[in-house]
Structure 1
């Protein structure tokens, strides 16, 4: 289940495609700023990410005449979504770290329980740089007795909401219209 962007995959793709990816990249840049002080891997990741951010800003935002109300609206919406994701990931991180402390475990030891051998990979998962797998989150929930809703967000990404909404309109069933309204409320 992908609830947020995988920063390494974004960097591998070579470009930021839209405002949501841009806002997520900005959040990741702030996270990586702190992590870069402790790891060359994160420092290199941040440098590559910042290069992509600059290219996107120059392509999309540099011409004042091309920036219209639609782009500003998209930017505002993307910022809200990215912030909601950031807050969720921070709460999840704190819940996991609290349980690690209670169990007197390190992130590395949690990684062993999950079947991950890399200390860096666990740090990326905990810090929201890479997404956990659904299986990882179920294991964490069972071991630490953390409510699954603390680990898995209930909101949907905007692209999924748009796709589902369009399909609901296409199917044109009255009861589905009620579901459509709930999709937006939950997000």
Structure 2
């Protein structure tokens, strides 16, 4: 499912590929369930996401006889990774809202500042869609929020696996990911 910059990209996703994708989809499902009440245009996206989840679960988790210990372990690791991401997004949301309040600004004002519609700003703040680097730099410069509170410095799942593979291919013993790089603190 790769990292979606915009929740509307779900329309192009054909299937969930792994446990990490499933856990991300479950998190987005919970967020979208609430957001659909405010923005009905997200309903079709939510429905597609629910379908992707159901297909993955029926293909991978429906027969208890075929579920392996490795599958359960992968699921638990993915759940922990997604929980760490969720907590980061929640902290970022709180920091942005607090700073907006200190400047007597609303989310809608932030939308004007960044050139985004109100509904899209809600998606960004709630972590359903990703801020662009330009958005984060503007927030950093104008609202004076540390970049480390705006940009996650851990490697996301796909990137982490690619980097790990590349390090092995390079055969450079001094290059390595530390445990905290692999697990996300």
- Normalising by structure 1, report the TM-score: 0.88
Shift of 1:4: 6.5
Separation in 1, partners of 2:51, 2:74? 22
- SS of 1:66's partner is coil
Shift of 1:48: 2.5
Compared CA separation, residues 123 and 50, structure 1 to 2 (3 A): same
Separation in 1, partners of 2:58, 2:3? 28
Compared CA separation, residues 185 and 44, structure 1 to 2 (3 A): closer
Listed as ranges, the gaps of 5+ residues in structure 2 are none
Separation in 2, partners of 1:20, 1:65? 22
Higher helix proportion, which one? 1
Q: Which residue of 2 aligns with 1:89?
A: 89
1:167 aligns with 2:166: yes
Listed as ranges, the gaps of 5+ residues in structure 1 are none
Shift of 1:112: 1.6
Q: Which residue of 1 aligns with 2:141?
A: 142
Partners of 2:5 and 2:131 within 8 A in 1: no
Shift of 1:157: 1.3
Q: Which residue of 2 aligns with 1:60?
A: 60
- SS of 1:100's partner is helix
Q: Which residue of 1 aligns with 2:72?
A: 72
Partners of 2:22 and 2:53 within 8 A in 1: yes
Alignment of 1:120-159 (within 5 A): 120-159=119-158
Separation in 2, partners of 1:147, 1:45? 33
Separation in 1, partners of 2:141, 2:65? 54
Q: Which residue of 2 aligns with 1:110?
A: 110
Instruction: List structure 1 runs of 4+ shifted beyond 4 angstroms.
Output: 2-6, 179-182
Compared CA separation, residues 166 and 19, structure 1 to 2 (3 A): same
Shift of 1:133: 0.6
Separation in 2, partners of 1:186, 1:90? 16
Instruction: String of CA shifts for 1:47-98, please: whole Å, max 9, x gaps.
Output: 2221221111111111222211221121111101100000000000111111
Name whichever of 35-44 and 88-97 sits farther off: 35-44
1:183 aligns with 2:181: yes
RMSD: 2.1
Compared CA separation, residues 169 and 181, structure 1 to 2 (3 A): farther
Partners of 1:5 and 1:24 within 8 A in 2: no
Partners of 1:5 and 1:130 within 8 A in 2: yes
Name whichever of 11-20 and 93-102 sits farther off: 11-20
